[in-house]
Structures are given as structure tokens and as C-alpha cells.
Structure 1
């Protein structure tokens, strides 16, 4: 007997907010903080990746709003940047910051800096206002 898992569909904004809250929960419960540094890089990387995924969900929803039926999912950060540049320079700046703070410093390099990660999370929150 197989169990069916009920499908729940969330709006892009709700889904991105859920990702962002999950990232914050990982940091709060698992990463440990002392003297402005996180103690466990494994959880910082996990949270940064989750928060960056929220940013990409936001950007996809924003581009769908702007491009309508012509929307195709971007394949690279350069593709996101080029397409966002056409519509909103502030969002483009937020994308550059989030890419540096969460994807490169947080996920890829595993920074322990609380300030860097918190700035990235705040920037994703600002990005969220673009699709609400």
C-alpha cells in the first residue's frame, strides 16, 4: 500500500518566505553564535544555501511577472543579472549583494561571520517585497 502525500502549493512569496524562515531556524538552532561568529560552518553553509534559494525563487517570480508567457528560467547568475537589469536597478544591486553574501561567502566559502550572513538574510527580505 502506497501513501499519497498531499500536495500543497504555495504562492512564490509564501514559498520564498518559508525558505527564509527555515534558513533563520537552522542558524538559530544549530549554528551557534559567539563573539560575532558562527560556531558550526556546516549549518552556516546549509542556511546560506537555503536563503539563496529563496532569493532565486523571488527572482523567478519577479521575472514571470515582468516577462509573462516569454519567461524561461535563467540558467546562470549572469542571465539573472542581465534580465533583472532591464527592469530594476535596485533589485539588481540586491541580487549582487545576496550572491556575494550568501552564495559565495556563506555557501561556497563557509564564512563564520554573523554580520555577513545576517546582511544577506536582510537583503533577501527586502527582495521579497518585490513580489508581494
Structure 2
């Protein structure tokens, strides 16, 4: 399986967690445990896709600042989407368990946009 398909699978798994486990009611998820899991899963999918494009960091461990620096040199629009995905998926969902359905949808849309962008960049390379 190629890494872009794998990244998309992460997003599908995050959606499944929210749909099947988090119990949506009146615009909010009732079980934040699954919101946190879905946020982490989706953010991991973004990183899988970006790692395919950006490759290996020469020294030390990759962190969010490294990804931001790399994207800033490539595409400002995608950098903005990455900022949003990091804030929404990683911080708001994964750490805080934000139960808003709208927040989750927004984060997943950003994730898909980034993954599709990486797929296009690789295809055109």
C-alpha cells in the first residue's frame, strides 16, 4: 500500500471512530475518549503524507516547527492548512477532546486537503 493511501486510511479510521464510537448528539460528541483518538489518528495521517513528500530530517527528531519551516518554503496556503490541522486535530481534539462536531469536520477537511496536496505534488514530480 502506498503512503498516500495509508494517510487516507488514517482519515477514514478517524471518521469511523467519530461515527461509530463517539456518539453524536445535538452537534456534539458525547464520548471525548474517541474524539481524542480520532484527532490523533487524523493528525498522524497528515504526518504520514507529509513525510512522504518531505523525507527525512537530517538531525534530531521532527517536530511541528520543522514541518512548518518546510511547508513555508513550498506553499503558504498549505502551511495555513497545516497550522489549522495542528491546532484542531492535535491540540483541540487529541489533547483537549473538544466535542464539537463542527470542529472535528473542519480538522478532517484540512487533513484531507493536505493529503490531496501531497498526492498532487508527488504525481507532478
What is the TM-score of this pair, normalised by structure 2? 0.89
Query: CA separation in 2, counterparts of 1:57 and 1:91?
Result: 15
Q: How many residues align?
A: 117
Tell me the residue number matched to 2:21. Answer: 30
Tell me the residue number matched to 1:117. Answer: 104
1:102 aligns with 2:89: yes
Query: CA separation in 2, counterparts of 1:121 and 1:26?
Result: 12
Greater fraction helix: 2
- Equivalent positions of 1:1-132 (< 5 A) are 10-64=1-55, 71-72=56-57, 75-132=62-119
Residue pair 1:48, 1:107 contacting (<8 A) in 2 also: yes
Which of these two proteins has the greater Rg computed from alpha carbons?
1
Deviation at 1:129, TM superposition (A): 1.2
Classify the secondary structure of the residue corresponding to 2:62. Answer: coil
Query: CA separation in 2, counterparts of 1:92 and 1:12?
Result: 20
Computed over aligned residues only, the root mean square deviation of the Cα atoms, in angstroms, reads 1.3
Any idea what the Cα deviations from partners look like across 1:43-94, whole Å, max 9, x if unmatched?
Answer: 0000110000001111111213xxxxxx427611011101111111111111
**Structure 2 residues not aligned, in runs of 5+:** 120-125
Residue pair 1:62, 1:130 contacting (<8 A) in 2 also: no
